[in-house]
Structure 1
Amino acid sequence: MTSARDVLTPASLSMLQMIADAGSFAAAARNLDMVPSALTYRVRQIEDALDVLLFDRSSRQAKLTQAGAELLREGQNLLVEVDAIANRVKRVATGWEPQLTIAVDSIIDRSTVMELCESFYQLNPPTRLKLRGETLSGTLEALTSGQADLALGAVMDGSGTTGLQREKLGTVYFAFAVAPHHPLANVQQALSDQLIRSYRAVAIADSVQLGSSVSIGLLHGQDVFTVADLPSKLDAQVRGLGVGFLPTCVAQPYIDSGRLVEKKVERAQQQVQSYYVWRQTKASQQGRALQWWLDQLQSPTTRASLLGQRASLP
């Protein structure tokens, strides 16, 4: 039995539109260089497959039924999409990837990412962009598992990972911050780990799916309030729900305004090296979309902005 997919082709939709525009099967048949009986037979096939009447045949005019009018309305959208797909395929053949997925760590400045996306789309590329929000080990895992093509803000150990290329984004420094009404805010001396351990910490959940998760600045045995992302961690610490290290670039405006208090701690200053990472391929096999992003990341200003910092002057 003929199915709707068999009959709803771009050619058949154009034929139905021709009949509707001509106002009769005879006129449409002349325009299409067909005999009227052949045209009528093809329309019957479509109607049988859909189990609806597309034209009212009670008069000599070919008048669309409500179902026929709806089919042509939706059919026009389908034809536009077919043309768009054809154009995308042609452009992808020039070296653009169909889709580029970017894993964005929670430490990365979202406004800068969106500015880069805006610049990318101004090229009118055929590549679809997809952003994945990740945290800590999950950022690199998205790349190694094949779920992303580029990772921004990955934390890596010195050994590296086979098959990946990486470049430094920059060093992220952390400040230990508490709310002004938190008990630790009034302690004068540098905070010891023993003292910090007695208060709840706020931590971001590692988005890693496989393998071991990573934590920064947590103490063994400390009560932990785990949140989904960096904005939530900042909000929780401003509310006094816990304490912990925050990227200096994020915390500084709140410290300057008095909404957070930076405290000295006895341990060494927390800092991590942040990278952008992509899968290693031959230059001839690298897509143009990925290459565009890598070109932008060569700029010190862009790298600093992604970490919420100002580029260092030479």
Structure 2
Amino acid sequence: MYRPKTTLEQWRILQAVVDFGGYAQAAGALNKSQSSLNHAVSKLQDMLGVQLLEVIGRKAVLTEAGVVMLRRSRDLTQNVQSLELLAHNIHQDWEPEIVLAVDLAYPRDALFPVLEAFLPESRGSRLKIKDTVLTGTDDAILKHQADLAINMNIPRGYLGEALCHVEFVLVCHPQHALAQVNGHIDPSELAQQLQLVIADTSDKPEEKQGWLKSENRWTVSQFDTAIDLLHQNIGFCWLPLHKVKDQIEQGLLTRLLVKGSEFKQMTAFLICPTPDDKGPGTCLLEKLILQHRQIDLPS
């Protein structure tokens, strides 16, 4: 029978050194001495016969082999965590806490009847709803930080159930310079104006979605903050139509038409990061969300 040379703790320490940017920072996060972390990583490399980290200046940097090994090690530690969680759910029967990550763009009105129906059946389970944005929602899925997630895309390797379509529109104050343009606006005109952007909740955000060419950008954490700034004639912003439809109809905000992109539409999906580990509470919440989905399913 094969006996591993390395331990989960060694891999966990390596991950911490990389994630926290060095031995000193990782030592503080793990409540261990810096020397013990150095020893663990050094022993790990000796056992493997592969150099995983190299020190450049004052910073420990992954080697090419280290990048590959670290990625595979994350799968290993997550699988162990999932296995232990599965055992916990089998023992407890009903989860003490259920985490639901929800992208800010998802209409909350669609969630309220779900929560109302879930409450009397929840058996005292705590429900934690995490507001996430862009790759922050991806993180909640990929890092298994949530039992269920509502995301505007399906990360590679996962499955999702479509819940609704979310339309985004470009808006500004009626007196904003962009609102005075007749017809469709050229994208080059947008680039000269202040753009309001919703902050990505990921620890390592990636700007890979949406129109972000404006050099002058302000970042806010909530759609409501962006709307408040728009009311003060500050900037322009892409926002979910359901958040600003009434204000557009009342003339408080103006919808802009842009050459090549009058509007954009995304689909919200319900994703279970660890489907094999679902407890009964998570299964019930998933069922209720799907029952209240706002999309026509193919017959």
Partner of residue 200 from structure 2, selected from 203, 206, 209: 206
- Tell me: CA distance 1:234–1:211, structure 2 relative to 1, closer, same or farther (3 Å): closer
- TM-score of the superposition, structure 1-length normalised? 0.60
8 Å CA contact 1:149–1:278 kept in 2: the answer is yes
- Tell me: CA distance 1:152–1:222, structure 2 relative to 1, closer, same or farther (3 Å): same
Deviation readout 1:156-186 (Å, 9 max, x if unpaired): 3xxx433x33111232222111111111112
Q: Look at both structures and tell me which one has the larger radius of gyration over its CA atoms.
A: 1
Q: Which has the higher contact order (CA 8 A, sep 6+)?
A: 2
Q: Aligned partner of 2:171: which letter?
A: A
Q: Which runs of 4+ in 1 moved over 4 A?
A: 91-94, 311-314
Q: How does 1:271-286 map to 2 (within 5 A)?
A: 271-282=265-276, 285-286=277-278
Deviation readout 1:180-210 (Å, 9 max, x if unpaired): 1111112112001011111101110111113
Q: Percent identity, aligned pairs only?
A: 23
Measure, in 2, the Cα distance between the counterparts of 1:292 and 1:112: 16
Determine whether 1:263 maps to 2:256.
yes
Q: Look up the SS of the partner of 1:279 in the other structure.
A: coil
Q: How does 1:1-314 map to 2 (within 5 A)?
A: 93=91, 95-156=93-154, 160-162=155-157, 164-210=158-204, 212-219=206-213, 221-268=214-261, 269-282=263-276, 285-299=277-291, 302-304=292-294
1:312, distance to aligned residue in structure 2 (A) = 6.1
- Tell me: CA distance 1:153–1:279, structure 2 relative to 1, closer, same or farther (3 Å): closer
8 Å CA contact 1:127–1:289 kept in 2: the answer is yes
1:93, distance to aligned residue in structure 2 (A) = 4.8
Deviation readout 1:221-277 (Å, 9 max, x if unpaired): 431111001121222223221102211222211110000111211023322232121
Q: Aligned partner of 1:174: which letter?
A: F
Please give the root-mean-square deviation of Cα atoms over the aligned residues, in Å. Answer: 2.4
Paired position in structure 1 for 2:76:
none
For structure 2, the 5+ residue unaligned runs are 1-88
Q: Look up the SS of the partner of 2:159 in the other structure.
A: strand
1:94, distance to aligned residue in structure 2 (A) = 6.7
1:211, distance to aligned residue in structure 2 (A) = 5.6
Q: Aligned partner of 1:161: which letter?
A: R
Measure, in 2, the Cα distance between the counterparts of 1:229 and 1:211: 16
Deviation readout 1:260-311 (Å, 9 max, x if unpaired): 11121102332223212112434xx531111112212223xx233xxxxxx6
1:141, distance to aligned residue in structure 2 (A) = 0.6
Measure, in 2, the Cα distance between the counterparts of 1:227 and 1:214: 17
- TM-score of the superposition, structure 2-length normalised? 0.63
For structure 1, the 5+ residue unaligned runs are 1-90, 305-310
Measure, in 1, the Cα distance between the counterparts of 2:296 and 2:162: 14
Paired position in structure 2 for 1:77:
none
